[in-house]
Amino acid sequence: MSGPPACDHSGIMRAVTTATSAGTSILAGTEYLGGAAALLVVGASVRSGYRKTLGRRRERYRRLARLGTGAHLSFFVSVLGEPPAIRHTIRKADSRTYVASDDPRFDPALAGPDASGHEIVETRVYTESVFIDRDYYVQAISDDDDTVLAFSVTTRTRRFHPVYRMPVPPSWIERKRLKREFGYRYVPLLRVTLGRSRFADGDSKDPDRFAGPHLRLQLGAHNWTYSEYRSFGNPGYYQTFVLTASDVAARLAVGQFHDVQREIGGNEWPDPDPTKYAGQPTWEEMPATQEFRRSTVITTYTVIGMQMWEQNYPATFGPQLSVVRTLP
């Protein structure tokens, strides 16, 4: 009689080995994925901790560099990480604008015989929003559509120094390409480090190419500001840039403010009013103002977009101390 069929132990062993290997591979893969996930969690935690501690200021520099005119106010909120601490409406009754002949506000009697438009004065409504961080203030001026027409960045501490250049520098690779193909070397028309740069730092060393800045100052019972205007046409995207020192960062170096006011005989130089301009001194006759500019640190950087005229700016450049002093 023949016995039961012989068992193929080798086949069974191969199946068991294969199953064990597959199980081991799955287990190893699972452990690998688990380890990778753990590393990602740890990495995210380390990155978040770095941004909140040692890299806190670097992260804030990165955020501030993303701001620009023409953006929606909600973009500022998303970039800065929280809504504005202060928000209020400003009605400016003396806002100036230009209307063309196809505008219903156009009045042929106010335009010249060959003119296609003219200026009008009207009341416009703006919204001022102030974002507050332990290192900076951001002021945004927006219209009724919440489009940001202008914004300011103000340093609050001696250790926070955002750098602004105009025009914005191209990437390192793009600069290499431009230099290789066109011999172009990037040189900023404006470079300022808030909390470090002084007003005179960016002046031309050639006296024949520098006739003094357009400056404006305001002095109240408790507040003061000193501002200078810059404009670069197309390289500056037809924006106006304003550099300011004010009471909100009073711990930084400031010159003799009252001497400037007495020297120019008013609050603006050159004064746009012809009757006042005629009696103002020339730049060479303003030693107190020149000394003030050499001594005073820039604390606020303002960008006014091409949709807003600089004379229509409805507030001071950057917040005043009396407005934000109750907030930490």
- Give the pLDDT of residue 155: 96
Q: What is the mean pLDDT of residues 197-221?
A: 89
Answer yes or no: is pLDDT of 19 > 60.
Answer: no
> How far is it, in rounded angstroms, from Cα 255 to Cα 242?
19
- Residue 85: pLDDT band (50, 70, 90) is very high
Answer yes or no: is pLDDT of 294 > 90.
Answer: yes
CB 69 within 8 A of CB 142: no
Indicate whether 29 belongs to any domain. no
Indicate whether 17 belongs to any domain. no
For 26-40, 142-156, 277-291, which range has the lowest pLDDT when averaged over its residues?
Answer: 26-40
What residue type is assigned to position 44 of the chain?
A: A
Measured between alpha carbons, how far is residue 127 from residues 60, 144, 151 in Å?
24, 8, 11
Residue range of the domain that includes 132: 52-89+126-254+296-324
- Give the pLDDT of residue 47: 53
Indicate whether 276 belongs to any domain. no
β-partners of residue 222 are none
How far does Cα 145 stand from its chain's mean position? 20
- Give the pLDDT of residue 55: 82
Indicate whether 40 belongs to any domain. no
- Residue 183: pLDDT band (50, 70, 90) is confident
Q: What is the mean pLDDT of residues 86-101?
A: 94
Rounded to 10 degrees, what is the CA torsion of 97, 242, 238, 152? Answer: -90
Per-range mean pLDDT, top range of 3-7, 67-71, 182-186, 202-206: 67-71
Indicate whether 102 belongs to any domain. no
- Residue 264: pLDDT band (50, 70, 90) is very high
Q: How many domains does the chain have?
A: 1
> How far is it, in rounded angstroms, from Cα 52 to Cα 149?
31
- Helices in 53-166 by DSSP H: which ranges? 56-64, 73-80
> How far is it, in rounded angstroms, from Cα 306 to Cα 112?
25
> How far is it, in rounded angstroms, from Cα 223 to Cα 248?
8
- Residue 207: pLDDT band (50, 70, 90) is confident
Indicate whether 44 belongs to any domain. no
- Residue 251: pLDDT band (50, 70, 90) is confident
How much of the chain, in percent, has pLDDT values that exceed 90? 63
CB 224 within 8 A of CB 247: yes
Look at residue 293 and give its three-state secondary structure. Answer: helix
Answer yes or no: is pLDDT of 120 > 90.
Answer: yes
How far does Cα 77 stand from its chain's mean position? 13
What is the token pair recorded at 263? 């020297």
CB 300 within 8 A of CB 154: yes
- Residue 45: pLDDT band (50, 70, 90) is low
> How far is it, in rounded angstroms, from Cα 320 to Cα 218?
11
Indicate whether 246 belongs to any domain. yes
